[in-house]
Structure 1
Amino acid sequence: MRFNVISYLLKEGIRNVFKNKKSTISCLMIMCATMLIFGLFLVIGENINAFVKSVADAQGIMVYLKTGATDEEIEQVGKDILQIDGVRDAKYISNTEGLESMRETLGDKMIEGYTTDNILPASYEVTLTDLELSSDVQESLKQIPNVDDIRSSNIIIEQIIRLAKGIKIVTWVILILLIIISTAIISNTIKLTVHARRKEISIMKYVGATNSFIRWPFLVEGVIIGVIAGAISVGIIGLAYTYIVGKVSGTSFFEIANINFIDFSSMSELLILVYLGLGIGVGAIGSTISMKKYLEV
């Protein structure tokens, strides 16, 4: 296809956007509404995932060492732990540090009797790269010499894994549904524009215009509408999210629950890419579907 033909088709597509103002505005409003709903679920999902990850990172495995282990043996245990697949870090906690941690958690009265004769064992606090590897890591830890006991919150870990998987499934289901709905809506909306120009399309086919030549301006129109809708949606979501987070993040509930919101700037790139893909994809597919009937001769 020659450059002047491509230029003409692009100009026709752009002209259609401004020429058919009613259908353009209708498409924009419907696509913006759909994208805003998806964006809402996306930012909520990203914040839930971040919260789940922070909780997951806090679910370490405590590895208690045998009493009487030498400094060399304790150091070797730490090295052996770090060699296990799925282990991110292993922090050594001496019995003195363990007692101090217990004091901060339970208070002085609850640890009376431990301070004079500290019987707490030394330990390693192990953090994982992936919670789903917890069971395998625990089995490997049991094989290390001078390891006396292993403690972990297996029930909490299983619940976190299920929650994370559930969030991913829900996000994908919502994405697919919104793509289908958006495609159907923009297809029907652009179909009205195509129907109004059915005589013009018939004449173009009569004089020998190819289907591609007729289709491209409408394809460009759909893509432009999709991109504009995406840009508007990103702006609205960004302003609304920043305002709402600014209002609620300092409240006592979120401070007590230790819930921190993700900064919008860290999500904006993902949101822009998703909206750009949705806008271009839905606009192009919707336009193609709406043209099919009128190109069948």
Structure 2
Amino acid sequence: MKSIVYNMGYFLKEAKTLFKIDLTSNILSILSIGLIFFILALVISGWDIMSFIVETVEREAEINVYYKEGLSDTEISKLLEDIRSVEGVGDVKIVDEEESYLRMKDILGDEAHILELFEENPFSPFIEVQINIAESDVILSKLKQVENIEYIRDNKRVLDRLNDIVSVIEFVGILVVVAVGISTLMVVSHIIRQGIYNNRDQINTLKLLGAPQPFIDFPFILEGFFLTLIGGLIASILLFVLLNYGYGQVELAIPFIPLPAADSLIRSIVTFTLVTSAILGIIGSLLGVAKQGEGFRG
């Protein structure tokens, strides 16, 4: 270990030389690795975003309860109390016709002028009920037995679909992680083996001079490490640009969709990408030098 630290300047110089010997191939490899890690970062980002959306929607799950027309204030108050008494029900409030109209106007955005075609407000008042999504089936069953409730609109189908999407993204994410790992290891180990072959005369000279195997191998380890790390850095820059632009577009188009904080998402994905690229670079390099001798085992 002391020998490695003491000779680090030499190792870095040799790694730089190795990179220059096959410059075009190494640059293309970096770009390929960068693209591979960019795809990985996109999938992981989509995974995190969808999981956050589902968790937020579940945490703030609401159902809309429509009651019979013509109920008196006393009957409506009793209905509210009956709903609140159901276990698993949280906040309960009435949304009148005007508020319902304004909500739809906000959702439609630029298309809100369609509502002006109606001579009268087409929306009915309803009761907005927050519920524990884990107990939604039981809660809905009990609410249907409450007097004066005409119709209940829940978002369970939407949540089920979102969960299905998350499951698919998780499956795809696992496949992508495995594919990225295997492809990166293959690319790096091939580059290292090729570098060792191209420098076989110098390596034989070092062996004749009594250089230990780790001393010979370490520049190649550094080369693979820097190849994947630079590729990971390129992927991180692309992800940073894309997410910053994409977040702005999504917030303008569908502002009611809950999204995780862009800064924390980018920070976590970039950290994951750089750490993963560095680890795969080291492992790939070790596989490459292992094919040529005992490597660090010597």
Q: Distance between the aligned counterparts of 1:213 and 1:260, measured in 2?
A: 53
Q: Distance between the aligned counterparts of 1:17 and 1:26, measured in 2?
A: 17
Indicate conservation of the 8 Å contact 2:63/2:130, yes or no. yes
Indicate conservation of the 8 Å contact 2:15/2:219, yes or no. no
Indicate conservation of the 8 Å contact 1:223/1:283, yes or no. yes
Q: Distance between the aligned counterparts of 2:228 and 2:157, measured in 1?
A: 45
The match for 1:139 is 138
CA pair 61-210 structure 1, distance change in 2 beyond 3 A = farther
Q: Distance between the aligned counterparts of 1:53 and 1:75, measured in 2?
A: 28
CA pair 264-109 structure 1, distance change in 2 beyond 3 A = closer
Name the amino acid aligned to 1:291. V
SS at match of 1:29: helix
Question: Offset at 1:284?
Answer: 0.5
Q: Does 1:267 align with 2:271?
A: no
SS at match of 1:295: coil
5 Å-filtered alignment, 1:1-297, equals: 1=1, 3=2, 5-20=3-18, 21=20, 22=23, 24-49=26-51, 59-62=61-64, 78=84, 81=87, 84=88, 90-94=90-94, 97-98=95-96, 100-101=98-99, 109=120, 123=127, 125-128=129-132, 133=134, 136-139=135-138, 151-205=153-207, 209-243=211-245, 248=249, 255=253, 264-296=262-294
Q: Distance between the aligned counterparts of 1:269 and 1:157, measured in 2?
A: 28
Q: Distance between the aligned counterparts of 1:208 and 1:182, measured in 2?
A: 33
Identity across aligned pairs (percent)?
19
Q: Which runs of 5+ in 1 are unaligned?
A: 115-119
Q: Distance between the aligned counterparts of 1:78 and 1:261, measured in 2?
A: 30
Q: Distance between the aligned counterparts of 2:85 and 2:209, measured in 1?
A: 79
CA displacement 1:206-230 (0-9 Å, x = unmatched): 5655444433332233223322322
TM-score by length of 2: 0.68
Question: Offset at 1:293?
Answer: 1.7
Name the amino acid aligned to 2:91. K
TM-score by length of 1: 0.68
SS at match of 1:294: coil
Question: Offset at 1:290?
Answer: 0.8
CA displacement 1:146-167 (0-9 Å, x = unmatched): 9556652332222121112112
Name the amino acid aligned to 1:139. V
